[in-house]
Amino acid sequence: MKLSAKQTVDVLRAAGEPTRLRILALLEREELAVLELCRVLDQSQPRVSRHLKLLAEAGLVERFPDGAWVFYRLSSGGRQREVIGQVLAHINADDPVLARDRRKLDDVQAERADAAQAYFAENAAQWDQIRSLYVSDDHVETEVQEVAGRGRVGKLVDLGSGTGRMLTLLGPQADQALGLDLSQQMLNIARRNVTEAGLTNVELRHGDIFDTRLPEASADLVVVHQVLHYLGDPAAAVREAARVVSPGGKLIIVDFAPHKHEFLREQHQHRRLGFSDEEMARWLSEAELPSVQMHALPPTRADGLTVKIWAAQRAPTALRSAA
C-alpha cells in the first residue's frame, strides 16, 4: 500500500533535519541505546530523545525498552522504511559529518568489544560455573538434545561456541562439527574439552558470528547458545546463522526471556536483557525461517532466569521451490 501525500510529507519532514538524518544513518548500522546515540552525536539526552520521538511518530524508528536502557532501531518494514532506505542510499558515503559519526560509532563498538573480551578472558575458566548460577544446565541441555533430535547430523555449526559445551553435547551425533568464537581463551578451553570428550570430528576456529565466511546452506544444524544477549546487533547474527542452514536443516537459538536483572549488564557485559518470542519470530521470519517452535524453561531458583529455546527448520528445497 502506497503512502498518502500527507504521510510522505511527514516522513520527509521527520528525516529532513540534520541531526535526525544522522540518527537514521547510525541506526542503519545497528540498533543503539539512547546514551550511545548521545555520545556519537555529542548532544544532550533530552535533545536526542526529542529527535527520536519525532522519528518514532513518523514510523521511521522503533523504540524498545530493555531493562533500564532504551534502544532504538530503524522500523522493520513498511513504505516509510523503504523511503528512508532510498534516501540513505543516495547520500555520499564520504560526507564528512556522517563519516565522523561512523568513526565515533566505531569507537563505541570497539570499547564495547574490548570490555566483553576482557570479561571473557577473565572468566573463561569459570564460564560454565557462571552460567550455572542462572539456569539449570542439565535441564537446558536435555531440552536442546530433544529439539535437535537424536538422529545423525551431517554438519553441525556452533556459533559463539564458548567452552565448547554444545559441541561436546551434540558433536557425537554429527559427521562433522565446527565451532566459531572470537575469544582465543574460550577456543583454548573448548579445544581441551573437545579432546577430553574424545571427539575427533570437531574443528574449532576463530570467527565472527556476523561474518562467518561459511558457505550458504552448508550446515544441517546450527546452534547459537547464550550468545545473542552480548551482541549489538542480534538480528544480524540471526540472519547470518540462518543463511548457513541448509534445506531441511535446523537453527536452534538458546537465550533468556526478557528480565530485569541489571547486574548482568553491569557485571557480566550483557547488552540485552533477554528476547521476546515476538521479536525472535520476526527475525527468523525475515531470515526465511517462518516456522518456529518455542520452548520455555523456568528457573530453578527464585532469582534465576527463564531460558528460551527457539527452533526453526528450513523447508526442503522442493517445498521451497513450490511455495
How many residues are there in the chain?
A: 323
Does residue 160 share a domain with residue 270? yes
Between residues 213 and 118, the one the model is more confident about: 213
**pLDDT value for 318:** 43
Domain boundary among 31, 65, 91: 91
Query: What amino acid is encoded at 273 in this protein?
Result: L
Between residues 303 and 279, the one the model is more confident about: 279
**pLDDT value for 295:** 95
Q: Residues 106-131: what's their mean pLDDT? A: 72
pLDDT-derived band at 176, boundaries 50, 70, 90? very high
pLDDT-derived band at 186, boundaries 50, 70, 90? confident
**pLDDT value for 321:** 44
Domain membership of residue 220 as a residue range: 126-322
Q: Residues 85-94: what's their mean pLDDT? A: 91
Does residue 317 share a domain with residue 190? yes
**pLDDT value for 7:** 86
Does residue 43 share a domain with residue 192? no
Does residue 160 share a domain with residue 14? no
pLDDT-derived band at 132, boundaries 50, 70, 90? low
**pLDDT value for 93:** 85
**pLDDT value for 2:** 85
Does residue 77 share a domain with residue 204? no
**pLDDT value for 172:** 97
Three-class HEC string of 140-200 = HHHHHHHHHCCCCEEEEEEECCCCCHHHHHHHHHEEEEEEEECCHHHHHHHHHHHHHCCCC
Q: What is the CATH number of the domain that holds 44?
A: 1.10.10.10
Residue that is written with C-alpha cell 570428550 in the block? 197
Beta-carbon contacts of residue 131 (< 8 Å; ≥ 6 apart): 137, 226
Q: Residues 289-307: what's their mean pLDDT? A: 88
**pLDDT value for 130:** 59
Q: Residues 210-234: what's their mean pLDDT? A: 95
From the CB of residue 53, how many other CB atoms can be counted at a distance below 10 Å? 12
Give the phi and the psi of residue 8 in degrees, each rounded to 5: -65, -45
Does residue 54 share a domain with residue 167? no
Decide: 19 and 5 in contact? Cβ < 8 Å. no
Between residues 206 and 185, the one the model is more confident about: 206
**pLDDT value for 109:** 83
Residue 300: inside a domain: yes
**pLDDT value for 129:** 56
Q: What is the CATH number of the domain that holds 162?
A: 3.40.50.150
**pLDDT value for 322:** 43
Give the phi and the psi of residue 207 in degrees, each rounded to 5: -160, 160
Does residue 183 share a domain with residue 40? no
Torsion angle, CA of 167/170/172/175, rounded to 10 degrees?
Answer: -90
Q: Residues 151-176: what's their mean pLDDT? A: 96
pLDDT cut 90: percent of the chain above it: 60
Residue 13: inside a domain: yes
**pLDDT value for 168:** 97
Does residue 84 share a domain with residue 136? no
Q: Is residue 300 predicted with pLDDT exceeding 90? A: no
Domain boundary among 46, 76, 91: 91
Q: Structural domain tally of the chain?
A: 2
Which of 286, 256, 282 lies closest to 271, judged by CA?
256
Decide: 212 and 159 in contact? Cβ < 8 Å. yes
> How confident is the prediction for the chain on average, in pLDDT?
89
The side-by-side arrangement of strands in the sheet containing 61-66 is 32-33, 69-74, 61-66
Q: Is the whole-model pTM more than 0.85?
A: no
Highest mean pLDDT among 36-45, 107-116, 131-140, 292-301 belongs to 36-45
- Could you please report the per-residue DSSP string of 16-49? -SHHHHHHHHHHHH--EEHHHHHHHHT--HHHHH
The side-by-side arrangement of strands in the sheet containing 202-206 is 202-206, 174-181, 153-159, 219-225, 245-256, 307-313, 292-297
**pLDDT value for 188:** 79
In the DSSP assignment, the letter for residue 273 is -
Does residue 177 share a domain with residue 42? no
Q: Is residue 230 predicted with pLDDT exceeding 80? A: yes
Q: Residues 135-143: what's their mean pLDDT? A: 85
From the CB of residue 45, how many other CB atoms can be counted at a distance below 10 Å? 11
**pLDDT value for 45:** 95
Dist CA 152 CA 174 (whole Å): 6
Domain boundary among 73, 91, 109: 91
